[in-house]
Amino acid sequence: MHPHDFRRIALGMEEAVEGAHMGHPDFRVNGRIFATLHHDREFGMVKLTPDQQARFTRAHPGTFAPESGAWGRAGSTRIRLASVHEETLGEAVTLAWQNVANKGAPPSAQSARPGRHHLPIFQSPAYSEP
């Protein structure tokens, strides 16, 4: 993958916009960063949860790694663009977008976001009819 592929995927998320942060491109939804391209354009970053980060780094150790310091411990994840497959990058960017788009949104807005599945209580898997 190349930086333009990362950009295309990030900007394909609903309401995503490109900005700049500390001299490099970032991608935001609702004014919050969910992904960035590093200065060298060899790496990107996505804001995953620590559990999501662990899953990606275990499955793709040469491609995904925590960013340095507290940001990395919080889930910010570095992606080596040369070795990531488009489908895997798309999954990681989508998760990052969902994490940021839903953060702080009211519950009604959270359930309306793409990728979120909210079942009414009567359809809950725990519900059983008599």
What is the CATH number for 109?
3.90.1150.30
Going across the sheet that includes 76-80, the strands are 17-21, 24-29, 32-37, 43-47, 76-80, 64-66
| Residue 79 in domain | yes
What pLDDT is attached to residue 105?
A: 57
Please determine, for residue 103, whether its predicted confidence score (pLDDT) is greater than 70: yes
Residues counted in the chain: 130
Give the closest residue to 1 by CA, choosing from 91, 97, 80, 65: 80
Asked if the structure places residue 129 within a domain, the reply is no
**Predicted TM-score (pTM) above 0.85:** no
pLDDT bracket for residue 23 (50, 70, 90)? confident
Q: Which residues pair with 126 in a beta bridge?
A: none
Residue-range definition of the domain harbouring residue 54: 3-123
Question: Measured between alpha carbons, how far is 113 from 103 in angstroms, rounded to an integer?
Answer: 11
Rounded distance between C-alpha atoms, residue 93 and residue 57, angstroms: 14
| Backbone angles phi and psi of 30, in degrees to 5 | 55, 35
- Asked whether residue 114 carries a pLDDT value surpassing 60, the answer given is no
Residue 81, CA distances (Å) to 77, 90, 102, 106 in order: 12, 12, 26, 34
Looking at residue 31, what is its pLDDT?
A: 94
User: For the segment 31-88, what is each residue's pLDDT rounded down to a tens digit?
Assistant: 999 999 999 999 999 999 999 999 999 999 999 999 999 999 999 999 999 999 999 9
State the total domains in the chain.
Answer: 1
